[in-house]
Amino acid sequence: MYRLPAKLFAVFLSLTATRSFAGACESGAPTGVDPPVVSHLRAYPWTFNAPTRMALSLDSRLFVTDPERQRIVTRDTAGRITDNRLLGGKPISIAVDSQDRIYIGDGDLGRVRVYSRNWEFLYDLGIGAGEFQLPGAIAVEPG
């Protein structure tokens, strides 16, 4: 059993919450951007079997895929678990776009499903099951 360390969660939130952080990491002249501040978050109980991917929504909800448990776990900005969604299949990848649509790559069925913020099924990308061999990484345009 694997537990996502609270410190890792805090670092991930801090790094992703600062949109201009990537520019601050480049070598060369100073950019004037302050690096993010990392704070320790309290650990909330959840046991992951094999977390594979994380995505952050614009409102800072953190989504973590756990394909061995067939689940997506959602945490709020304080680290509390706000949802524990059983989707079936093997959710091996995830992305969230600016309209809060959630994209889930299913490793068992070879598809990418799209859900609303409230987990209502919207559509499959492509023709559905079998469209993708192993959708292990998804990226969406932020705007």
pLDDT value of residue 45: 65
Percentage of the chain with pLDDT > 70? Answer: 66
Report pLDDT for 37.
57
Whether 40 shows a pLDDT value over 70: the answer reads no
Instruction: Please state, as a whole number, how many other Cβ atoms lie within 10 Å of the Cβ of residue 82.
Output: 11
Contact yes or no for 105/114 (Cβ under 8 A): no
Using a cut of 0.75, tell me whether the model's pTM lies above it.
no
Q: Could you tell me the CA-to-CA distances from 78 to 9, 14, 83 in Å, in that order?
A: 10, 12, 14
Both structure tokens of 8: 């890792």
Q: CA nearest 78: which of 97, 60, 63? A: 60
Measured between alpha carbons, how far is 17 from 101 in angstroms, rounded to an integer?
19
Joined together, the tokens standing for residue 96 give: 């969230």
The tens digit of pLDDT for each residue in 75-96 reads 888 888 899 999 888 999 999 9
DSSP states of 40-72:
PPPP----BS----EEE-TT--EEEEEGGGTEE
132 close to 124: Cβ distance less than 8 angstroms: no
**Which of 27-36, 98-107, 109-118, 119-128 shows the lowest per-residue confidence on average (mean pLDDT)?**
27-36
The top-scoring range by mean pLDDT among 4-8, 22-26, 35-39, 125-129 is 125-129
